[in-house]
Amino acid sequence: MSYLNDLYQEVILDHSKNPRNCSALPEANRQAEGYNPLCGDKVTVYLKLEDGIVQDISFEGVGCAISTASASLMTEALKGKSVMEVEALFGSFHSLVTGKGGEPEQLGKLAVFHGVSEFPVRVKCATLVWHTLKAALKEKQQAVSTE
Ligand code: ZN
């Protein structure tokens, strides 16, 4: 399993150093901000939602390697997905990182965060961008805080 762990770590490192979709999205029709005071992670999620489908998604922010990689991989995973698919993925992802099982095979690359469940403090880093995304979907005006 250690080979697999190394592979996971490599994906996380790659996405934290070269985050994908890391810019503002001028055509976004939804956005929300999230903050994880425990770690200092801050993120803004931009979403272009049309007919219940994520047409485009991006993020901006600063944070630790886990939060940045999570945001990068999430935006990659959600393009073209319906809101229902997004919610199902969030459920699986949340189960995975909190160590409640879930169905990693549904998660594709997002399964690299599997090891986070061993570090409870890091769970908030990994899920911050997802909670922020949910706020954007619900058009919540207030910034999300994990505390
Ligand atoms: Zn963090």
From first to last of the 147 residues of the chain, give the pLDDT tens digit: 456 677 788 999 999 999 999 999 999 999 999 999 999 999 999 999 999 999 999 999 989 999 999 999 999 999 999 999 999 999 999 999 999 876 677 899 999 998 898 888 899 999 999 999 999 999 876 788 887
How many whole angstroms from 115 Cα to the centroid of ligand 1? 14
What pTM does this model have? Answer: 0.92
Distance CA 63, CA 120 (A): 17
Residue 85 CB neighbours (<10 A)? 16
Distance CA 8, CA 12 (A): 6
User: Residues 6 or more apart from 78 whose CB is under 8 A from it?
Assistant: 54, 57, 86, 89, 133
Burial class (CB in 10 A: 0-12, 13-18, 19+), 128: buried
How many whole angstroms from 61 Cα to the centroid of ligand 1? 12
How many whole angstroms from 3 Cα to the centroid of ligand 1? 25
How many whole angstroms from 144 Cα to the centroid of ligand 1? 15
How many whole angstroms from 23 Cα to the centroid of ligand 1? 19
- What CATH number is given for 2-145 in this structure? 3.90.1010.10
